[in-house]
Amino acid sequence: MSETSAIEWTNSTWNPVTGCVKISPGCKHCYAETFAERWRGIPGHPYAQGFDLRLWPDRLDLPLTWKKPRTIFVNSMSDLFHEKVPLAFIQKVFHTMQRASWHTFQILTKRSERLAALAPELDWPSNVWMGVSIETDKYLWRADHLRAVPAAVRFLSLEPLLGPLGTIDLSGIHWAIVGGESGPGARPMEANWVREIRKQCRAEGVPFFFKQWGGVQKKRNGRVLDGRTWDEMPKGHLLEV
């Protein structure tokens, strides 16, 4: 839970749910799990339970206390569509986002099947962006589920990018984020994988955001691609840094 975030494509994070379970190769070096497990067993710490799933009802109204408009990443330390998060709780999260209409909320999931199944049970205000994570071409089908969701902005987080994605169906997609894995054991990302995605985004008019090269020392590797940074955002949205 943080009022500010170091994530390049957002301003703040809001975690009404914490903890998760790994479900695909992109989860192997999960930064959230690594962070949370450092505090397991420490009485009174927000992560005393480590990375076990936990709902935080007392955090549901937090965005309502932030009066200045922000771009907010929802559940940076979990997945809102985890199978053990009840529909009723997800609906409460959406109710808060609807009430906090001056903010922009970004939700990201790898559980696209549950997202598509529950989408008709949720109200989708225009300030909610919905995305799915895709790390290899074997998971491009997550974008098919996303296309069925009536979010005002649908986006792809192609991070950590672990291989070439080939041809991506960008129909109904409004934004693409690309990034390499970072931290100990980070798997390498090749520049031609990134350039091919950028080429497709430009051809389809989809804003392209290059987050990072990653690596063990991600700050040293930076986020410059072909001489510049790529910070494109969905139409009409300017991210305040």
Judged against a pLDDT cut of 60, whether residue 110 lies above it is answered with yes
Q: What is the model's pLDDT at position 237? A: 79
Q: Is 33 among the domain residues?
A: no
Q: How confident is the model at residue 143 (pLDDT cuts 50, 70, 90)?
A: very high
Q: What is the model's pLDDT at position 217? A: 87
Q: Is 4 among the domain residues?
A: no
Span 45-76, pLDDT tens digits? 999 999 999 999 999 999 999 999 999 999 99
Q: What is the model's pLDDT at position 1? A: 45
Q: Is 84 among the domain residues?
A: yes
Q: Is 233 among the domain residues?
A: no
Q: Is 35 among the domain residues?
A: no
Judged against a pLDDT cut of 80, whether residue 2 lies above it is answered with no
* Number of domains the chain is built from: 1
pTM above 0.85, yes or no: yes
Rounded mean pLDDT, 29-53: 94
Q: Is 22 among the domain residues?
A: no
Q: Which domain holds residue 69?
A: 56-221
The CATH number for 211's domain is: 3.80.30.30
Q: Is 5 among the domain residues?
A: no
Judged against a pLDDT cut of 80, whether residue 86 lies above it is answered with yes
The DSSP string of the chain is -BSS---TT-SEEE-SEEB----SGGGTT-HHHHHHHTTTT-TT-TTTTTTS-EE-GGGTTGGGG--S--EEEETTTB-TT-TTS-HHHHHHHHHHHHH-TTSEEEEEES-HHHHHHHGGGS---TTEEEEEE--SGGGTHHHHHHHTS--SEEEEEE-S--S---S---TT--EEEEE--BSTTPPP--HHHHHHHHHHHHHHT--EEEEE--BTTHHHH-S-BTTB--B--STT-----
Q: What is the model's pLDDT at position 6? A: 84
Taking all residues of the chain, what is their mean pLDDT, rounded to a whole number? 95
Q: How confident is the model at residue 4 (pLDDT cuts 50, 70, 90)?
A: confident
Judged against a pLDDT cut of 90, whether residue 235 lies above it is answered with no
Rounded mean pLDDT, 74-92: 98
Q: Is 132 among the domain residues?
A: yes
